[in-house]
Amino acid sequence: MARSRRLKIPVEDTVRVVLSVLAGEMSAAEAARRGVSTVSVGKWEQAFLEVGIKALEELPCGTARAQGTPEQRRLRMENEQLKLALAEATVQLRVWQHGATLVDQVPSLTSKP
């Protein structure tokens, strides 16, 4: 009974092949001519992309995951605009309140000096 021998390909070489195929520098058929089956290259490529997507989804805020769906992005932008509007209104209110405390100190235009 003959067993097929599978070569253990170093991870660095696997990554190099996958990146070359993804970049369009080499086709899966060209990789197969170097001793790797097109099925293996396809599996490596799929695994590489799946793990990459999962890694991007797990990144903290401010990165790719923070983008979210269009609705989430719209709500986030609206939230920031509302925070800014509230801050401006708060500043205006404080200016008016401070001005109200000084109104008695300002001479009236109709009063005589």
**pLDDT class of 76 with cuts at 50, 70, 90:** very high
**pLDDT class of 80 with cuts at 50, 70, 90:** very high
Question: What is the number of other CB atoms lying within 10 angstroms of the CB of residue 16?
Answer: 14
- pLDDT over 90 at 79, yes or no: yes
- pLDDT over 50 at 14, yes or no: yes
Contact, 55 vs 47, CB < 8 A? no
HSE value, Cβ hemisphere, 13 Å, CA-based, for 58: 6
pLDDT (mean) for 17-44: 85
- pLDDT over 60 at 45, yes or no: yes
Residue among 22, 15, 17 at smallest CA distance from 33 = 17
Taking 3-state DSSP, the helix, strand and coil percentages for the chain, each rounded to the nearest 5, stand at 70, 0, 30
